[in-house]
Chains A and B, each alone.
Chain A
Amino acid sequence: MSEFKAKPEELAEKINYKTPHKSWMDPYIEIKHGSFNYSGIPKNVEYLKLPNPRKWQPTEDEWQLPENWKEIILTGLKERLDKFRSLKIFMDICVRCGACSDKCHFFIGSGDPKNMPVLRAELLRSVYRNDFTTAGKVFGKFAGGRELTIDVIKEWFYYFYQCTQCRRCSVFCPYGIDTAEVTILVRELLNLIGINIDWVITPVANSFRTGNHLGIQPHGFKDSIDFAVEELETIIGIKVDAPINKKGAEVLFVTPSADYFGDPHYFTLLGYLALFHEIGLDYTWTTFASEGGNFGSFVSHDLMKSLNTKIYSEAKRLGVKWILGGECGHMWRVLHQYMDTLNGPADFLEEPVSPITGTKYENAKSTKMVHICEFTADLIKNNKIQLDKSRNDKLKVTFHDSCNPSRAMGLIEEPRYVINNTCNHFYEMPENTIKEQTFCCGSGAGLGTDENLEMRLRGGLPRANAVKFVNEKNGVNFLGCICAIDKATLPPLMDYWVPGVQVGGIHELVGNALVIKGEKERTTDLRGEPYVEKAKEEIETSTKE
């Protein structure tokens, strides 16, 4: 990890909510180390045919923008106003009531007033007012107008890459103003003049070419699935079948690439493999659409579409009936709210029906893609799988609702139902920090880099603090989540703020608890660690107390 050294208490103590003397209207930013991301590398910017590939860094004075950058931005803004009613409405109707102001994890963790959602949006709104409204054209500054300058652009870069598009602000706004939507569109604008970050651009280029963010080629994909199958065999004593690119399978399974390369995602992958084996699902993996996530959605609507096409086109090529999707947050934002519109109609697929329970997924009848938690909850409800909860007894579990499943899907009870059926010790975090009010991990929307670590730890404070609460109160030691970005970024967050709390997926819990026909006597969980009878006893005595 990077040079970030401040101790947790020190960092928290230094959070200062005092507002500066200087008006926010004067664009002034200091690109702080630990709080920004490096620029996209020219090779990948070029590969994606995005504008203005060049070597540059945000810390440099000269950003090497095209000469007519201002014209590009203003024309781009006009175009987006004409294409998105949301943008016009969000620009025009904010009353600056401040209800959203302390709802953003980045504001809570940094105290920087421009991280209040209202001011983040005002950074664009002031330019909109200046150039696109009558009041702004007549009264200029007095109507809240602000001229677009290079410094404003730099400020946009800094603050719209300190928004994880989590939409918490939108839940509290009396008009539903969604700063995430503003962020998405400002990032689009910035990309028009070649301002972007590598942690987004490189995964997008990889995904475009190889089908997944990590750039894993088809044989590499096969190797890692094969390896997982072997590893699972050592745990359960059964070699499961994991078909890849199999034509005519009933179901196509798509999940984030981190699941087969990342830790602790990997244990969730083992859970999927075990589950699909146990229920005898006729399914296939795919190398071409080997990424459920969509970092394109962190660049522009176009790139989101461009990457997303692979899922339907692969489903069509393989001739499956419907699609099942793994645990991931922003992936499900795209699948639930965009995919059908962008790349549908999926009339070559069938309305999804569970081959095991016969349940019709009425809620997915048009998009034809089902969330794994919906799928598993239905299996459990219909008693199609046997779960031994005690195998998760050493875990005291809490659940982090990922932003997108909760605020863009409403997938709230399904994972809880699965958790409650796979473990005996489940504790909710305080109500203002879960479900639709959940706090972001602080690293979503492409911000999960090492160079951005300080801002991530700050932005993750509200989440971590709520975990700390149940950790101290209930001894919680396992933070369950259904998002690949969470699985990657919550562990360092926990290490920093609440050491001793493990992070893992819900289907890891499923895999642990799942009683598989013909399995050998299982002595370890999916992490290869003993189930620990002793720990079980300890828990029993402690709950008696």
Chain B
Amino acid sequence: MNLFFSFSALVILILLAVIGVEAVKLEFLFGVIIPYVAIAFFLIGIIYKVIYWARSPVPFRITTTAGQQKSLPWIKNSKLESPNTTLGVIGRMLLEVLLFRSLFRNTKAELKKGPKLVYGSSRYLWLAALAFHWAFLIIVLRHFRYFSEPIPAFVPFLQNLDGFLQIGLPILYITNVLIVVALTYLFFRRLFDPKLKYFSLASDYFPLLLLLGIALTGILMRYFTKVDIVSVKEMAVGLFSFQPVVPEGIGVMFYLHLFLVSVLLAYFPFSKLMHFAGVFLSPTRNLANNNRMKRHVNPWNAPVRIHTYEEYEDEFRDVMKASGLPLEKE
């Protein structure tokens, strides 16, 4: 049901673009207006969301410690799993963001006869997630060769790195293969693992399908249907310099690719994809485990009802006296 909804949504989007460009000739709409609107949604949406999060304070320092605290000098502190300095926290965050440290811990629990529980390591999720994210990042960076003139220096570097296999013409980029394989794995995993299937929402399938759509249209364009790179670049540079132009004869595949990217951008701030920003604000990871060393202040720390020692002694004075406990007031 959730899958069906996501899938239909994607099909409708594809049809919209194809009909829009092929039949109705709305190149300007699909090539200029929609991308601009999408970018606006993307930027404003992200800023809005991050501000929305940041407006709430962090009342307590609730670090999840995954290693030895700093205590006695001769006990080795685990500086990255239980950091007590800002530097340590930065290290921990870098490990999370660049290498998905926590996901690397993943295990799979199995209950065997006996009963006997075993926890096997289970790193495919980690591997696929890492492959997808890095491939995605590199692909986005490679795209700068379309967006800016002159081409930034890192682009040829990435292209060489990515194409080091030197297979095919145009040269096959490893990231193109990786992203499709990884996304396909992540998608099928949701269908074939009953637990995941049970709790996956439409909004879990949709981004995967959309990203696959983007990747596949991109690949089709590069290796099969071919597009006129010069016109595409003209258009992209036009978009980014706010002097939009719609060159002739770019082909529907390009518009489809661009439209799906626009949908992704517009959808982004409203979706779980915001994890890319949220992970930096997650208080169990981005705070140091220095709780007893350094006081953390809660801006709304409100007074509460308390029971004072005086009230306590008033209630129990007789029994305290009888059993010889010292008193404030006789």
Binding site for B on A (CB under 8 A): 8-9, 12-13, 15, 17-20, 23-24, 49, 81-90, 92-99, 101-103, 108, 113, 116, 118-119, 122, 133-135, 142-144, 167, 170-178, 181, 208-211, 217-219, 222-223, 244-247, 287-288, 301-303, 305-306, 309-310, 313-314, 317, 336-338, 340-342, 344-345, 359, 361-367, 369, 374, 377-378, 381, 406-414, 417, 430, 432-433, 435-437, 461-462, 465-466
Contact = CB atoms under 8 A, between A and B. Distances in A.
Provide the main secondary structure of the chain A interface: helix
B204 A95 contact: yes
A283 B293 CA distance: 23
Given A84-B56, A134-B270, A410 B68 contact: yes
Contact of B199 (A84, A119, A208): A119
Given A93-B275, A142-B5, A369-B292, A406 B65 contact: yes
Nearest to B197: A19
Interface size of B as a range:
35 or more
Given A24-B198, A108-B109, A222-B323, 11 more contacts: A9-B115, A13-B115, A181-B62, A219-B316, A219-B322, A302-B302, A341-B61, A363-B292, A363-B293, A406-B65, A407-B66
Nearest to B318: A219
A222 B325 CA distance: 8
Contacts of B196: 96, 98, 101
19 contacts: A19-B195, A84-B58, A92-B53, A96-B196, A96-B201, A99-B102, A99-B125, A122-B199, A135-B270, A143-B202, A170-B64, A175-B275, A211-B312, A218-B325, A301-B59, A359-B72, A363-B69, A409-B289, A412-B69
B44 to A, nearest CB: 13
B270 A374 contact: no
B329 interface: no
B278 A175 contact: yes
Q: Lowest 5 CB-CB distances: which A-B pairs, in order?
A: A410-B69, A12-B115, A93-B278, A176-B284, A410-B65
A432 B282 contact: no
Interface in B240-271: 270-271
A342 to B, nearest CB: 7
A86 B283 contact: yes
B223 interface: no
B72 A374 contact: yes
A178 B298 CA distance: 19
Contact of A342 (B56, B301, B319, B325): B301
Given A108-B111, A309-B306, A223 B323 contact: yes
A167 B65 CA distance: 10
Given A119-B199, A305-B304, A461-B117, A133 B82 contact: no
B85 interface: no
B298 A341 contact: yes
Given A98-B196, A102-B108, A170-B284, A219 B325 contact: yes
Interface stretch (B12-20, B73-81, B227-235): B73-81
Contacts of B61: 337, 341
B222 interface: no
A101 B195 contact: yes
Contacts of A20: 198
Contacts of B62: 86, 178, 181, 337, 408
Given A175-B279, A341-B60, A313 B308 contact: yes
A345 B292 CA distance: 11
Nearest to A469: B116
Nearest to A104: B109
Contact of A83 (B53, B56, B67, B296): B56
B283 A95 contact: no
A409 B117 contact: no
B160 interface: no
Contacts of B108: 102
A342 B291 contact: no
A72 to B, nearest CB: 18
A340 B199 contact: no
Contacts of A317: 309, 328
A494 B247 CA distance: 76
Interface string B173-212: 0000000000000000000011111111111100000000
B326 A89 contact: no
A340 to B, nearest CB: 5
A4 B286 CA distance: 44
A93 B292 contact: no
